[in-house]
């Protein structure tokens, strides 16, 4: 397949994944649209339509070179997805603007600059305008969805190729830690510090959108030599969307190396005893649940650790960070310069760039379009690398 076609398809898939993340059922965007059931249905309809189109994307990419109608369909889909992305970005920008305004107002009234997304409200004018644009975009996407049958495009779900989110582990690839030196140093510093208020346990939320590198950052500090020497005990657990206190406690016990059974009471007692009097570091990766009572029940298992114990919580949700308390660490996107350096490392590894100048030209454009998301950059770099080798 032509490199340009392959990478173009991969980029479209990557953009769709970002949209799925931002339109997640438990995501912050829904909080801004939950004025009534109709508003909720708009975003749900957009997400479901995009999911249906994404399901046939792989087959369309394979057929576009031999079928000009499929190629045209993909071009129109790219335009429609770009429009959807721009609309979501427009909402995100407005939310950010409101949050900054709220912080400035809070600074004038209190000493606490934090503003909850739940307290923000889009203006009626902005809200109605964006709703009209979203409805128009959905109509375009639905027209493209109606053409799937005529183009004989097959869903990857029918062939058993449905992708699932893989649970994270603490194993880190040094090449993944790119452009995050300052964030790594800051987080290591916070792990090694003693709480100013004398609390034995400190929770550090690490917040950012999907694919921005929260888990990679947590892995980097988890495996840092100074961090290893500082803590008596470490454990890592990927929580993900299905929050289950029993599963978390059981997983942490297994990480510590202790035997477990299926009695939830005994597991919680054993975990609490194993942490008692020890300075520990626990990472809870990919947390979505923002129900305070459930978090408070789990937190009680950790309160008897030694002074300086820390818990890192990575999350995409601002509401989770606010619930955890403490100062959240926000992970932003990479600069264009760092994005290109990361893309080059994964697409041209062990090859002379001078012999692949055509890849460099394509690569710089792709890296810029990835909008600073390391996961998207590495995915597309791998695609470009494999296609160029073929």
Q: Residue ranges of the domains in the chain? A: 3-158, 174-330
User: How much is the pLDDT for 379?
Assistant: 78
Contacts 24+ apart (CB under 8 A), 110-115: 114/322
In this predicted structure, the answer to whether residue 165 has a pLDDT above a threshold of 80 is no
Give the pTM: 0.70
pLDDT tens for 209-255 read 888 889 999 999 999 999 999 999 999 999 986 788 889 999 999 99
Q: Per the CATH hierarchy, to which homologous superfamily does domain 174-330 belong?
A: P-loop containing nucleotide triphosphate hydrolases (3.40.50.300)
Instruction: Let me know: does 218 contact 204? Beta carbons within 8 Å.
Output: no
In this predicted structure, the answer to whether residue 114 has a pLDDT above a threshold of 50 is no
**Mean pLDDT (whole number) for 35-49:** 75
User: How much is the pLDDT for 160?
Assistant: 42
Nearest to 178 by CA among 384, 385, 372, 386: 372
Which tops the pLDDT comparison, 229 or 163? 229
73 vs 173: CA distance, rounded Å: 38
Least confident of 3-12, 46-55, 124-133: 3-12
pLDDT over 70, % of the chain: 77
Where residue 211 falls (left for φ over 0; alpha for ψ -120 to 50; beta otherwise) is left
């Amino acid at each position: 397949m032509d490199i340009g076609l392959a990478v173009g398809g991969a980029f479209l898939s990557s953009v769709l994944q970002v949209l799925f993340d931002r339109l997640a059922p438990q995501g912050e965007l829904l909080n801004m649209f939950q004025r009534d059931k109709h508003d909720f249905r708009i975003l749900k309809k957009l997400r479901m339509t995009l999911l249906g189109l994404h399901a046939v994307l792989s087959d369309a990419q394979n057929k576009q070179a031999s079928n000009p109608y499929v190629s045209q369909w993909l071009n129109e889909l790219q335009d429609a997805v770009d429009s959807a992305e721009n609309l979501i970005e427009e909402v995100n920008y407005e939310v950010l603007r409101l949050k900054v305004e709220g912080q400035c107002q809070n600074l004038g009234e209190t000493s606490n600059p934090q503003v909850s997304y739940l307290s923000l409200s889009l203006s009626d004018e902005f809200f109605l305008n964006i709703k009209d644009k979203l409805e128009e975009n959905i109509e375009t996407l639905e027209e493209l969805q109606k053409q799937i049958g005529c183009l004989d495009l097959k869903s990857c779900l029918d062939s058993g190729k449905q992708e699932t989110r893989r649970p994270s582990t603490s194993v880190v690839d040094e090449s993944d830690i790119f452009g995050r030196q300052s964030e790594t140093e800051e987080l290591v510093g916070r792990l090694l510090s003693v709480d100013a208020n004398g609390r034995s346990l400190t929770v550090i939320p690490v917040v950012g959108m999907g694919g921005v590198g929260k888990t990679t950052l947590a892995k980097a500090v988890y495996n840092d030599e100074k961090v290893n020497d500082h803590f008596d005990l470490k454990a890592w657990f990927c929580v993900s969307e299905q929050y289950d206190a029993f599963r978390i406690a059981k997983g942490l016990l297994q990480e510590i190396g202790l035997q477990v059974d299926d009695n939830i009471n005994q597991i919680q007692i054993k975990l609490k005893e194993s942490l008692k009097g020890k300075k520990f570091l626990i990472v809870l990766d990919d947390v979505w649940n923002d129900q305070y009572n459930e978090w408070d029940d789990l937190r009680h298992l950790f309160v008897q650790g030694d002074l300086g114990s820390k818990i890192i919580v990575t999350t995409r949700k601002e509401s989770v960070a606010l619930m955890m308390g403490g100062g959240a660490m926000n992970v932003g996107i990479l600069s264009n310069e760092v994005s290109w350096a990361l893309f080059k490392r994964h697409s041209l590894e062990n090859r002379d760039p001078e012999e692949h100048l055509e890849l460099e030209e394509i690569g710089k454009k792709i890296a810029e379009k990835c909008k600073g998301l390391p996961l998207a950059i590495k995915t597309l770099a791998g695609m470009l690398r494999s296609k160029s080798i073929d």
